[in-house]
Amino acid sequence: MIPVIRTYRNIPSIIDEFFTNDSDGGKAENYNCACKPAVNVIEHENTFQIEVAAPGFERNELKVTVDKNLLTISSVPEEKTEKKSISYLKKEYSSSKFSRSFELPANTESDKIEATHKNGILTITIPKKSKGGNSCAGN
């Protein structure tokens, strides 16, 4: 086997590209993918919670839909017209379209999903079905 030596750290190698891609084609670990927002999925006793990093999006630009057991979060950014008098030296802000889908577990109540948007975080709360047929407290 021939050792591979990299002398320029700022130039990615083919090996780095191969081993750092995730299954969706995005970058894993320390690499950021601008094509989809980062999410946290949290399981609580009575709910699941999905937190979506969506900075720069207004609530009306985010869409949450449920079709059977598939929850889809997508963006519908508004077309913004720029003032022609502004001359950017560098421009990185953009609101691109994205879509993320999650298969809901069988123990969820998809008709009772709630979503809130605060400080660039979209939080989706998915209630779990209650265990057993009796939902009275104290039993």
User: How far is it, in rounded angstroms, from Cα 45 to Cα 100?
Assistant: 24
Q: With pLDDT > 70 as the criterion, what percentage of the chain qualifies?
A: 61
**Which range is least confidently modeled, 14-23, 51-60, 126-135?**
14-23
pTM of the predicted model, to two decimals?
0.63
Report the alpha-carbon distance of residue 121 to residue 137 in Å, rounded.
33
CB 61 within 8 A of CB 95: yes
How far is the C-alpha of 118 from the C-alpha of 121, rounded, in Å? 5
Q: What would the pLDDT profile of 73-90 be if each residue is shown by its tens digit?
A: 999 777 666 667 777 777
The domains found in the chain, sorted by start residue, are 35-79+96-131 (2.60.40.790)
